[in-house]
Structure formats: C-alpha cells, structure tokens
Amino acid sequence: MRVAFDLQPTVGSATGIGEYARELGRALGEIPEIDLVPLSAPQIDPWRFDRRAYWEQVLLPIAAARSRATILHCTSGTMPAISPLPIVLTLHDAAWLRVQGHTRWYARAYFGELMKHLAARAREIVTVSAFSAREILALHPGIDERRVHVIPLGVAEEFARLSLREGDDATILVVGTVEARKNLEIVIRALPSLPGVRAISAGPSTPYRDACAALARELGVEDRVEFRGYIGRDALLDLYATSTVLAMPSRYEGFGLPLAQACCAGLPAIAARGSSLDEIAGASVPRVGADDLAGWIEAFAAVFADPERARRTAAAERAAAAERFSWRRAASATAEIYRIAST
C-alpha cells in the first residue's frame, strides 16, 4: 500500500507534532507492506501562518497527486480543502476550539472553524488519547464516532535507554511551547516557596513567554527561571538526564508527550490533573489541580526533600512505560487504519 505522508511538521523547530510525524514515519517505514512517500518542503517555515497554509492548501495536495499513492496521511491536525486522495487525518486535540481564544482571529478561523468543517471529510481520523477522542466528538458534530481511532503516541527509544546523571537536585524541567495553556506561570509562582530551586523551560516561545518573564521579575525569581527556547534532541536528552523533576502543569493537553518521555526516562514527574494527563501519567506521578499553587508547592517540596527516593519510585515504572509508549505499536495500529481507509 502506497501512502503519501505529510512530514512538513518536522521542518524547523519540530515540537510534539513534529516528533509524532518523524517517529511514526520512521516506524511505518519498517512495515514491509507500507510504501511510505514522505512529503515536505524544507524551504517553507511551518511556524509562519501564511507559509503553513500555503503548504497545506496548495503544495501538499499537488505533491500528493504526484506521489501515485492511494492514501494521504495528514499528520498535523490540518488538511487541504481539496485533495486528490482519501485522507487519514491525525487530530491531536481540540485545543483550537477549546482554549485558544486569545490567539489571532485568522489563526482561530483556520485551525479552528475551517478545520472543524474539513475534518468531517476525512476518510478516517486518528487521535492520541481517549480524552481527545471525547473532545473531538463533542466539538465536531459532523464526525461519525466509528471513524475516530485512538492510537497513543510512542516515545523515542533514546529516552528509555537514557542514563540519569547526577544533577544539582534543584531543577524543575518544563518542556513544551511556552503558551498560556501550558501554564508555566504556576511553576514560577511556586519558586519563592522553594529556596534554591530553579526552573528551566525548553520549547518555542509565544507572547506568553514575556508574561512569564515579567511574573518572574515581579516575584524576584528571574535569576532562577531560564528560557532555553527550542532545543535539539541531544540537548533535550541532557536535560532529562540531569533535572530533578519534570513539571507538566498544562490546563489542556491532547496527549502530553513530555510526561510520557519522563516516564520512559525514569525522571520523576508531577502533572496537572485532568485532560489527557490522567491517562498518560504512571501510578507514581502526583497529580495536582492546574492552578492549585499550594498543591504544586507541596508536590515539589516532597520531591526536593528526597530526590533519590523520587528517582527510585520513577525507575520502578520505567519498563512498563516504555512498553506502553511504543512507536512500533503505534505504527502497526496506524497501518491498520490505512487498510480501513483504502477499502
């Protein structure tokens, strides 16, 4: 089966969706009956709205038509209005319809309302958690629930093989785009109650970063908050290996890949309660209300009081996490969706 596969999310600063496209494409390439045709335009920046829309609405369908494939897999939650091929669409979440009201109107119109309309045309829809499936069905009344398939993300094997190293036992790691729904501010607000502890943010910036920096200055902890921006895989692995705890305080997540990565790496983690994070967190991961400042301070303090105990507890669940979050398993399930879509 020949499948045209949108790899454009891997261009430039590839965040969670870029990781999805890269790792799933790699695993699908190992399935003999799948002939994967990767489609991308490295010269086009997917972080610029006009460039991304041009890729998705013009260049992608042209490339798909030339690919001689029988299915087009759109991997980033968006799809062309006109396609020469039946589409398998991965909808990672319903964030654009739930929590992105603060963004520019044209982005909301394109990623929210237009894609809500177009998604109903997809032959099959893949999503990444049961929570996201419920959200999609609640907010996309034109989608038949029989066409929505939950396939959890995998985690790259480098995380499962990672050897944790001695760090300063005083570092909170927050991974992901610095945007309002990710709620970095709750970590910053906790720092005055955690003497000597620092927070490292790793991920692309949005205007919300400026608000977080201003909050850190206001609270007198600006010297303990570091914004690394987007970093490559090696630098990210180094942070997972040396940090004390990963914080995932998001108010809304469709999956929560950094949390899954921490579970596979054996890095202690604390996650917000709700959305998809309750599905992703292992039994040892404390869950706290996203905006419960006292709860976050207490959870952080427990880790920093005995970091070695926290590491032992996280290590005990590491093998099970690596088995749960397998790209090989995700690729096998996705290949089955291709077979369904082609009939």
What are 101-156's pLDDT values in tens digits?
Answer: 888 999 999 999 999 999 999 999 999 999 999 999 999 988 999 999 999 999 99
Query: Can you give the pLDDT at residue 47?
Result: 87
Q: Which two tokens stand for residue 204?
A: 């692309």
Q: What is the mean pLDDT of residues 24-35?
A: 97
Q: Which DSSP letter does residue 162 get?
A: P
- For every residue of 26-90, DSSP letters joined together read HHHTT-TT-EEEEE--TTS-TTSHHHHHHIIIIIHHHHHHHTT-SEEEE-SS---SS-SS-EEEE
Q: Is the dihedral of CA 20, 286, 234, 232 positive or negative?
A: positive
Q: Kindly tell me if the per-residue pLDDT of 282 is higher than 90.
A: no
Q: Kindly tell me if the per-residue pLDDT of 15 is higher than 90.
A: no
* Chain segment 307-329, per-residue pLDDT in tens: 999 999 999 999 999 999 999 99
pLDDT band, residue 302 (cuts 50/70/90): very high
pLDDT band, residue 166 (cuts 50/70/90): confident
pLDDT band, residue 167 (cuts 50/70/90): confident
Asked whether 36 and 3 are in contact (CB, 8 A), the reply is yes
Asked whether 203 and 16 are in contact (CB, 8 A), the reply is no
Residue 182's identity, in one-letter code, is K
Query: Can you give the pLDDT at residue 12?
Result: 84
With tokens 């709750």, the residue in question is: 186
Query: Can you give the pLDDT at residue 142?
Result: 87
Q: Which DSSP letter does residue 222 get?
A: G
Query: Can you give the pLDDT at residue 22?
Result: 96
Query: Can you give the pLDDT at residue 101?
Result: 85
Percent of the chain whose pLDDT exceeds 70: 100
With tokens 């964030």, the residue in question is: 95
Q: Kindly tell me if the per-residue pLDDT of 301 is higher than 90.
A: yes
Please name the helix (run of DSSP H) or strand (run of DSSP E) that holds residue 186, with its range, or none.
helix 184-190
Q: What is the mean pLDDT of residues 229-241?
A: 96
Tell me the pLDDT of the chain averaged across its residues.
96
**Residues 141, 200: Cα–Cα separation, whole Å:** 40
Q: Which DSSP letter does residue 76 get?
A: S
Asked whether 34 and 338 are in contact (CB, 8 A), the reply is yes
Name all domains of the chain by residue range, CATH numbers in brackets: 2-154+326-341 (3.40.50.2000), 157-324 (3.40.50.2000)
The alpha carbons of the chain give a radius of gyration, in whole angstroms, of: 20
Residue 99's identity, in one-letter code, is V
The length of the chain is: 343
Does residue 324 sit in helix, strand or coil? Answer: helix
Q: Kindly tell me if the per-residue pLDDT of 32 is higher than 90.
A: yes
* 338: phi then psi, degrees, rounded to nearest 5: -60, -40
Query: Can you give the pLDDT at residue 249?
Result: 98
Query: Can you give the pLDDT at residue 130?
Result: 97
